[in-house]
Structure 1
């Protein structure tokens, strides 16, 4: 009833819109729950280790899929999504683990693999899910307490179970948790060394404390800026993703198959950009800050092309190509910079042992802002689409991206890097 009331409020009509809006609300709920849980998951990983928290997250995902498989009512299905959203820490922990084992200069290249995996999943997942949904387990095995859409959840549960066993057997712990190690090293020193160290320490306590305080404040400011940029970007970009199916159906009368091909084109191109461009040039020739700016400019162009200029399918694909470049550059580079916030802080203060121990919390706060944007963006974009029209909505999103580009240009400094080699 709530979906129908919302659809009527914004001026839409038809059962197809009800289905799309309903899926959007469920997706927004999932993202909002991640917004709530991401900082907690990050803190837990700092305290108990990435491996342990990742395994618990996998178990939570498995429970979510089991509830979906055996959900005999809509209430049980919603609970499966709630549990899934609250325990979804796979991506966050993967990013933290990669950040633990890579140097700052290799961070973006390594994180690009996460983006590539996302892009491929974005390409393969929807058509695979649609195909699996065509198999009604309940009709084949009527004695099982399942529903007609249990097949995709059963397949996902199998993948999660295999992955959990694999991680348990082969994934080592990567977080430092090194305070005890530092204490051990200190206690093993010779007495004379301890005295000299204590003497030197007492002379520099005031300056070190001041340095720590200043550095901590700077790192919090950097994290706040990156988190707000992450929120604003995903707020606009996720709105585009959600309404793109509306636009292609209304303007070009696209069928679900044609929409799937368009999204597959975007996903494959995004993966190629991350593997062929981002991994080759990031940090070595092009800074993360520059990649973010390139991606946001590309997004503004893509939104304008898709929303206003795309009067035929060729132009539509051109606009989506710009958006694919954005998908392959912005979030990956923002995440890389967020993972370096504590690194920068520790290098200034001279206490590198704190770097990994705070990284889970830092990435959790950063990711939670993005998930908040992803939970709000589709709802407001859908409202704007049906109230103001596709062209006006996409032009407004273009304006948001243009302003965000100015924020990135003036708020995130770009380090000097060596120039590209000439062939």
Structure 2
């Protein structure tokens, strides 16, 4: 009996009338609603697809969750709310109507079923597939074949391939799989081309009836990164050109010379297909072409990109320049389009290949003569360069950890050595001098300890500043790898000395060696210059900025976290060897350094060939006065000096913050670490979510000034803070301000400087920054000692007026190219 049932079920899957095909039109979908939470869920799934954003998955997850999802959903929700009808979105409704009309237009209903599905909305592909499985058990003549048609006319990895991935990922869970076909593109189908031409002509005729004459027709395709087309060989750009060419050639002759091809909807900071729709159309208007017809052939249904981006944002932008955009709607559920597509679908399900081919237009070889090749203005880094950059990133990252790991420990460190090594010659020398000053002014205790911390912190920065050009010159002469290996080895050794620094003398020696070896940042920077070209150097140099940012976040955090582990309490005998309560952070830093050394020796390939080695002059100097010599480039000097004064005030805050927190709030080393983690995270969020996207639009000068102004309330709040809440409130302003100021000032220096002398100008900029980290802690510590804990912050707030005024006089950025 069981066998008969199984047999009956099997035979129900074989219609007596011949194969039956289920055709599924697949669209992307929309959020459930314009609520921020629903938009965030939609964007998380959409942008989390590695086909959509194809950069390093781990890196992208960090960017997506830290920078994109916290900020973009709010803006996107506002845009989606403009096209929300209170019940659904246009894409959903149009796809449903289109599917119904095609179904009604199908002649061979006995062998064809029409459905629609969405990748990110309901009904999903999985739901439609589940319905088909139910049909196998319930219907007498279920479909045995499945034809999926992604409703993206042109093929792209980020659309069609993404949909195929989703389909086959779902199939991994299934047992019964039908005969399956996927139509990867239909951009040359007669149904699509002819109906697109018809709608465009209707728009032109409509304008002519109203006494208007269109000056141009812009076919605006959805953009993708150039990298996908040039290096990954995605055929999308070619398909767009073929669509453009077929539409243009089938328009009435009087309209053909008006046709232009552009790309819209770019996302992120990398280069996308050009020309960009908004810029191109504005240029057309400036040329006197006031009435522009726009059609979006990448979409068969109106959605956010057509209704809002083109129909709202583009219309407003063009109107500001005196132009008018006349938008041609997508094919949507146009009756003729639905009927023609129904015939197209019927033919594509036939076994007759010849009949199927008749539904398409074909281009000849000479038709591609007008196809312009996309070129990268800033080529991506090679795989070899990326490999080297990973090593350099690690090197710089560890340098910054060595510099900042001691930040949260300064107050406790000073008290510890005064207790256990009070007779130390260097301690007596330092605190003896401080005491003589303190006795004269009546100050001591924490104020004196602040001077100790400032001196110890400035020592590292000073040595790093002095050693940097020396290491750079040596690497020019002997190669990068030997210099990096030597400096990293001794950097690791400095941490070993710190680990055993039961005496203050060893601590001073450890910081002395560490500061000198930390100067290898110049060698690391030279490596970046070796492996990059003029066009993509900024991408390589960005690695240095990321290493700095992460080092300043993780270094203090490591110092605070690992200071909680006192090895002398776990293994008391270690104290006899100089191990102290602060040895654990040093041990971790040492292990990381020697791991880095091993990596350099085994994996790093020399980037400076022997034939290029010689006595190169360094742009860095150990003479501070030479740094202030004016450069003959408009705007550079004001920017450099503004940066120096700003960073002097900011680094002074960094070095005295922990002392203020200990004195007023009784903070531990871990509490101090939390402050630096907070600063680092806010800086990362603002730089990734605001500065990266808005600096160019707002203007680097304006954003830098706003950043400096934001620092003032932060300094004043901390200077008058006696609660943790007020401290963190002040830190928020400081973090936001510095996150806006530093990258914008760096960008301004580059923008003001001619391309052939970028190295010299930016080198002086970085040197002034290093010098500021020497001057800032010393001055702030002296003010703290002399006036009290509020002094560095109140005076620092007023001092910031100087760079603000300087930056306000910056000239307009002009082209620096020859």
Instruction: Please give the TM-score of this superposition, normalised by the length of structure 1.
Output: 0.71
Query: CA 1:225/1:152 → structure 2, altered by over 3 Å: closer, same or farther?
Result: same
Kept after mapping to 1: 8 A contact 2:701/2:810: no
Distance 2:599 2:662 in 1: 42
Could you say which residue in structure 1 is the equivalent of 2:678?
A: 265
Q: Residues 111-146 of structure 1, C-alpha deviation per residue, up to 9 Å, x if partnerless?
A: 5422431232244222134134x1129945559844
Query: CA 1:61/1:287 → structure 2, altered by over 3 Å: closer, same or farther?
Result: farther
Return the offset for 1:161: 0.7
Could you say which residue in structure 1 is the equivalent of 2:413?
A: none
1:322 is aligned to 2:753? no
Q: Residues 329-351 of structure 1, C-alpha deviation per residue, up to 9 Å, x if partnerless?
A: 4344445566788x72517xxxx
1:84 is aligned to 2:514? yes
Q: 279, 282, 292: which is aligned to 2:704?
A: 292
Kept after mapping to 1: 8 A contact 2:645/2:803: yes
Return the offset for 1:369: 2.7
Could you say which residue in structure 2 is the equivalent of 1:372?
A: 771
Could you say which residue in structure 2 is the equivalent of 1:58?
A: 488
Map 1:209-288 onto structure 2 (within 5 A): 218=632, 225-252=638-665, 254=667, 256-281=669-694, 284-285=696-697, 288=700
Could you say which residue in structure 1 is the equivalent of 2:402?
A: none
Could you say which residue in structure 2 is the equivalent of 1:301?
A: 713
Task: Give ranges in structure 1 of 5+ residues lacking alignment.
Answer: 181-215, 348-354, 417-423
Could you say which residue in structure 1 is the equivalent of 2:464?
A: 34
Q: 595, 599, 602: which is aligned to 1:169?
A: 602
Return the offset for 1:325: 1.8
Could you say which residue in structure 1 is the equivalent of 2:408?
A: none
Query: CA 1:384/1:86 → structure 2, altered by over 3 Å: closer, same or farther?
Result: same
Kept after mapping to 1: 8 A contact 2:715/2:796: yes
Task: Give ranges in structure 2 of 5+ residues lacking alignment.
Answer: 1-427, 614-629
Q: Choose between structure 1 and 2: higher strand proportion.
A: 2
Does 37-46 or 25-34 show the bigger shift?
37-46
Kept after mapping to 2: 8 A contact 1:11/1:386: no
Kept after mapping to 2: 8 A contact 1:138/1:145: no
Kept after mapping to 1: 8 A contact 2:448/2:785: no
Q: 67, 80, 94: which is aligned to 2:497?
A: 67
Q: Residues 272-300 of structure 1, C-alpha deviation per residue, up to 9 Å, x if partnerless?
A: 22333344445x54555444333322222
Kept after mapping to 2: 8 A contact 1:61/1:87: yes
Distance 2:501 2:672 in 1: 29
Return the offset for 1:317: 2.0
Distance 2:808 2:610 in 1: 36
Does 328-337 or 84-93 show the bigger shift?
328-337
Return the offset for 1:10: 5.4
Kept after mapping to 2: 8 A contact 1:295/1:325: yes
Q: Residues 174-230 of structure 1, C-alpha deviation per residue, up to 9 Å, x if partnerless?
A: 5699969xxxxxxxxxxxxxxxxxxxxxxxxxxxxxxxxxxx9636x8776555334
Does 271-280 or 142-151 show the bigger shift?
142-151
Distance 2:694 2:544 in 1: 13
Distance 1:292 1:47 in 2: 38
Does 50-59 or 135-144 show the bigger shift?
135-144
Return the offset for 1:61: 0.6
Query: CA 1:77/1:138 → structure 2, altered by over 3 Å: closer, same or farther?
Result: farther
1:394 is aligned to 2:793? yes
Return the offset for 1:323: 0.8
Query: CA 1:326/1:91 → structure 2, altered by over 3 Å: closer, same or farther?
Result: farther
Map 1:74-113 onto structure 2 (within 5 A): 74-98=504-528, 101=532, 103=536, 106=539, 110-113=543-546
Distance 1:379 1:11 in 2: 20
Kept after mapping to 2: 8 A contact 1:266/1:320: yes
Does 242-251 or 151-160 show the bigger shift?
242-251
Q: 93, 111, 128: which is aligned to 2:561?
A: 128
- Structure 1 or 2, whichever has the larger Rg, is 2
SS at match of 1:315: helix
Query: CA 1:331/1:176 → structure 2, altered by over 3 Å: closer, same or farther?
Result: farther
Could you say which residue in structure 2 is the equivalent of 1:406?
A: 805
Return the offset for 1:162: 0.6
